[in-house]
Structure 1
Amino acid sequence: MNEKKIIAGEIAKIQKENSENGKYVVEVKSFYQGNEYYYFVYQDYNDVRLVGTPPNSIGKFGGDTDNWEWPRHTGDFSIFRVYADKNGNPAEYAQDNVPLKPKHFLPVSLKGVQEGDFAMILGYPGRTNRWMPAGGINQNVKFAYPAWVEASKTGMDAMKKFMDQDQAVKLNYASKYSQVANYWKNRQGMIDALTLHKTAESKAKDEAKFDKWANKAANKAEYGDVIKTINEFYASTNEKARHDNYLMGMLRSSAIAALPNTIGSGLEVYTAGDEARRNAILPRLKSAIDAGYEKIYMPLEEQVLIDELNLYAKKAGNIAPYIAELAAKNNGDFTAYVKESVKNSIFASAERLNNYLENPNAEILANDPLYKLSSALLNRYRQVDPSWKTQDDKFEGAYRKYVAGVLASNPKGKFYPDANSTLRLTYGSIKGLPQDPRNDADKNFYTTLKGTIAKYKKGDEEFDLPQRLMDLYNNKDYGRYADKKGYLPVNFLSDNDITGGNSGSPVINGNGELIGLAFDGNIEAMAGDVIFDHKLQRTISVDIRYVLFIIDKFAGATNIIDELKIVE
């Protein structure tokens, strides 16, 4: 039995032994790259109901322009209520469930924050890679992330051209554009930060020291080949990483790069089936077609696919064989081919697909140009080479030994495991950045409603504001939520260590009182998932006083305020 099966078997035993016949959810998590395991016991409440959210113009104020930026003026929060059965136990949704009354809940502080105040955050950060070897950082900075950035920007530029021309198209593609733009900005920030900090070079020096220790007589048998194996793995996968990111960039940006294959696989089953089989799967197919094409604007999709294919064929290297054939036939320019394919494809619209369902034909489906193109891309995306698994297994073993060796070589050192979606605490303090002329605040660790109003642009998707919020500002009607200096706080900075998954985590002061909700970081420390920068890295949080102001003064939901324990 191999190691992974043994570990999986032990995990299953631990879960069974500690769940109390399903009363608790038991998760066993790997730490330090598989050198240690811990199990977590949860009691999950599934009846969780939305109470309210601020309007988009408050909750996402600043949009993509302000994402990862400071100064920030975003009221990013939402309110949920947990329900239980009458005895306070978890229960599936039922009308007679009642709001949960926990043993403890956080008091909410109106005392505000000052620079240097203690702050801690409890949450469930998703993933960090602080143990990533130098080769992995180099691969990301020089191969993977540049491809991701270029493919994302290519898709964004094509989308924006059509979004700017038609408000309906802009609305339909706003979410997709935002998702692509978010990671585009993130990956470019990672490249810049990791390059600036020379992170790979620093890690390489540490690895060279480790390699000397590893090749001492007492350690050589266990650790001697660790660094060599790690470096060989990255050297052999750099070009694959580049290709995969160009391909994934296309699939993220272009709906018709993936959709024909996704729906077409169902059409194959439908076409080959008898009447009973067809009737059984027809509702699912119609639902998939309706969902897939609901917001599609084909002129935009055409252009995105053309631009992405041109980039992929030119830059990605070991591309899908069928795409390589088409590139050779069309001199690397897919413009005419894609336009002609859309004219002739049943996947060009929901109407054509529904017509096909009336008269299915295996030959038409098999020769459909968009289906063939999409299938080629997805087959390349799903391609698994047996040699890759061998490489991965060798690398994982070496990586685990590397971490084990670092811990063994420095038993008095202080090392922490990467984030893995388990509960973590980060502590620090309220801490600003050097003064910024864009921030009206007297110190650059907080922002105010005045700064929010200063960014207002009527009708702008990112910087429009509700008239009621502006009226409250003009009347200085802040209620009890204003700072003692008279301004209404919006966001603040702290030097806590968070990452994706921490959004919405409570920020707590030294008295155990809620002072804010974490939701973002600053672009200067974009490399935070790989290396923590004590000088530049900041957490951006919405001040709890702004949250309460929006609930109370803006929305008039005083019944929610009455449920809270507020500390003046």
Structure 2
Amino acid sequence: KAELQNRLFSYANSQKAYGGILKGLREPILMAKKRDFERTFKKAIDDNPRLAEKYSSLWGEIALTLQKQKEISNELYFYSINPFRSSQYFIMAGKLVSLAEQKQLPEDQRKEAYKGDQLQNTIDGIFPEKFDEEYQRMFLEMQVGMMIKYLGMENSAVQKLTGGRTNTDDAVSYILNNSLLTSKEKVQNLAVQDAEAILNSPDPVIQFTLIANEKRPALSDQQKTLSAKEGGYTQLLGRALFEVYGTSIPPDATFTLRISDGVVEGFPYNGTVAPPITTFYGMYDRYYGFNKEYPWNLPEKWIAPPAEFELSTPFNFVSTNDIIGGNSGSPVINKKGEIVGLAFDGNIQSLPGSFIFTTEENRTVSVHSQGMYEALKDLYKATRLSDELKNGTLGDELKANKKED
């Protein structure tokens, strides 16, 4: 249950992120601002002969590079097996093909997992201990349906996998009726055979995997080359941006150390206003208001906090700082140089920030230092740590212990 909940949370988080980005791209006012900025920026380049010679071709080069990436992206996606988005049938097939390839080598050239006593352990681990047949069939249906839609029936790998069946249900039935990957016994019987028997197996998932493994390296190399080109073009675009606007606008984020300034401020939300700061009262309001059910349930320690735990303490706050993925955990510092929180998220309205930043609704979400301190001190009773954080020094008792050491 916990594993499925974690996977569901991961999918829901991705859906939220991509859904928010897509919503922003479909927002007429937001995109009108973006187009207006782009036109003004490009005109400034084109009107300056020196800048035009250096940068005018960038827009076309970037568009061409993205188009080429688009042409190979579907194949590369479906040929790349990932435990979070691939049915166990494909994962087992991948392990069997890897096993066969290792068996083709002299034992002293194989990886450790395919030598001596380890070989049997590897074979035993191909079929998963926990295998939910119903769930894996649903997962397979989703994958096969997407392959038929985005790769098309003319794709040789899809042909091998589906036996030429264009209906998803029919294709999945064909796969499972002709696959050896439906039971541990069948998988192990195949795994103990020689490499040729595995690689020549008529199993449709294994045959798909062989084609995918053959095509994926070239596609991956092509993607890396195109991505590197795009990176070079966007770097030049950033340089052009600086030549036109100087320091009047901040540079693009490049994973280098940078400081983002902002103010603590609420934002319009569902016909009302989201407050700039929340307290522990709000957390308990959600807990009881939603009948203590997921995702508003609380760990046992939080259900009945001690009397000294102050519920009015600031818990989270929002600000107009412009952050990106990877900024989570960054300190939030006030104008006095004091750490007042740690950034950990953005609101849903911040997701289009990859394309354009506006201060009307885009907000960074941070956990408040007072909230962390209150939880450590009065809920978890970690007073040594809370005192050190507040005072900036070790307590006398800890200092004495360190001297004795």
User: Per the shorter chain, which TM-score range?
Assistant: 0.7 to 0.9
- Aligned equivalent of 2:19: 188
- Aligned equivalent of 1:565: 390
CA–CA distance in structure 2, aligned partners of residues 390 and 561 of structure 1: 50
SS at match of 1:403: helix
Structure 2 residue 349 is matched with structure 1 residue 515? no
- Aligned equivalent of 1:420: 254
Structure 1: runs of 5 or more not aligned: 1-169
CA–CA distance in structure 2, aligned partners of residues 435 and 234 of structure 1: 35
CA–CA distance in structure 2, aligned partners of residues 199 and 233 of structure 1: 25
- Aligned equivalent of 1:80: none
Cα pair distance change 1:236/1:279, threshold 3 Å: closer
CA–CA distance in structure 2, aligned partners of residues 205 and 319 of structure 1: 42
Aligned residues: CA RMSD? 3.9
Native 8 Å contact 1:434 1:444 kept in 2: no
- Aligned equivalent of 2:402: none
- Aligned equivalent of 1:373: 208
Select the structure that is richer in helix: 2
C-alpha deviation, 1:522, in angstroms: 0.5
Per mean C-alpha deviation after superposition, the further-off stretch among 363-372 and 228-237 is: 228-237
Cα pair distance change 1:376/1:488, threshold 3 Å: farther
CA–CA distance in structure 2, aligned partners of residues 222 and 467 of structure 1: 62
Q: Which residue identity does 1:426 align to in structure 2?
A: S
Select the structure that is richer in strand: 1
Q: Which residue identity does 1:299 align to in structure 2?
A: E
Per mean C-alpha deviation after superposition, the further-off stretch among 174-183 and 383-392 is: 383-392
C-alpha deviation, 1:252, in angstroms: 4.0
Q: Which residue identity does 1:174 align to in structure 2?
A: Q
Native 8 Å contact 1:341 1:369 kept in 2: yes
Native 8 Å contact 2:25 2:352 kept in 1: yes
Per mean C-alpha deviation after superposition, the further-off stretch among 188-197 and 342-351 is: 342-351
- Aligned equivalent of 2:321: 496
Native 8 Å contact 1:270 1:281 kept in 2: no
- Aligned equivalent of 1:214: 46
Cα pair distance change 1:266/1:209, threshold 3 Å: same
- Aligned equivalent of 2:403: none
CA–CA distance in structure 1, aligned partners of residues 340 and 126 of structure 2: 41
Query: Cα deviation per residue 1:449-489 (whole Å; 9 max; x = unaligned)?
Result: 222222225674422223442322xx6431xxx3xxx7233
Q: Which residue identity does 1:470 align to in structure 2?
A: I
SS at match of 2:259: strand
Instruction: Identify which of 298, 313, 317 aligns with 1:465.
Output: 298
Q: Which residue identity does 1:466 align to in structure 2?
A: P
CA–CA distance in structure 1, aligned partners of residues 264 and 149 of structure 2: 48
Native 8 Å contact 2:161 2:205 kept in 1: no
- Aligned equivalent of 1:4: none
Query: Cα deviation per residue 1:182-239 (whole Å; 9 max; x = unaligned)?
Result: 1111001001012215555544444444544336544554334333333334445445
- Aligned equivalent of 1:31: none
- Aligned equivalent of 1:231: 63
CA–CA distance in structure 1, aligned partners of residues 181 and 220 of structure 2: 30
Matches within 5 A, 1:16-165: none
- Aligned equivalent of 1:451: 282
Cα pair distance change 1:343/1:231, threshold 3 Å: closer
C-alpha deviation, 1:267, in angstroms: 0.5
SS at match of 1:427: coil
C-alpha deviation, 1:428, in angstroms: 1.6
CA–CA distance in structure 2, aligned partners of residues 471 and 219 of structure 1: 65
CA–CA distance in structure 1, aligned partners of residues 275 and 49 of structure 2: 54
- Aligned equivalent of 2:396: none
TM-score by length of 2: 0.77
- Aligned equivalent of 1:132: none
CA–CA distance in structure 1, aligned partners of residues 20 and 198 of structure 2: 46
- Aligned equivalent of 2:398: none
Q: Which residue identity does 2:26 align to in structure 1?
A: T
Cα pair distance change 1:545/1:352, threshold 3 Å: farther
Native 8 Å contact 2:331 2:343 kept in 1: yes
- Aligned equivalent of 1:305: 140
Per mean C-alpha deviation after superposition, the further-off stretch among 517-526 and 247-256 is: 247-256
Native 8 Å contact 1:323 1:376 kept in 2: no
Native 8 Å contact 1:517 1:542 kept in 2: yes
C-alpha deviation, 1:400, in angstroms: 4.0
Q: Which residue identity does 1:425 align to in structure 2?
A: I
Structure 2 residue 174 is matched with structure 1 residue 174? no
Cα pair distance change 1:257/1:491, threshold 3 Å: farther
- Aligned equivalent of 2:399: none
Q: Which residue identity does 1:465 align to in structure 2?
A: L
CA–CA distance in structure 1, aligned partners of residues 91 and 280 of structure 2: 44
Query: Cα deviation per residue 1:22-64 (whole Å; 9 max; x = unaligned)?
Result: xxxxxxxxxxxxxxxxxxxxxxxxxxxxxxxxxxxxxxxxxxx
Structure 2 residue 128 is matched with structure 1 residue 293? yes
SS at match of 2:262: strand
Native 8 Å contact 1:207 1:227 kept in 2: no
CA–CA distance in structure 2, aligned partners of residues 298 and 428 of structure 1: 51
CA–CA distance in structure 2, aligned partners of residues 390 and 562 of structure 1: 53
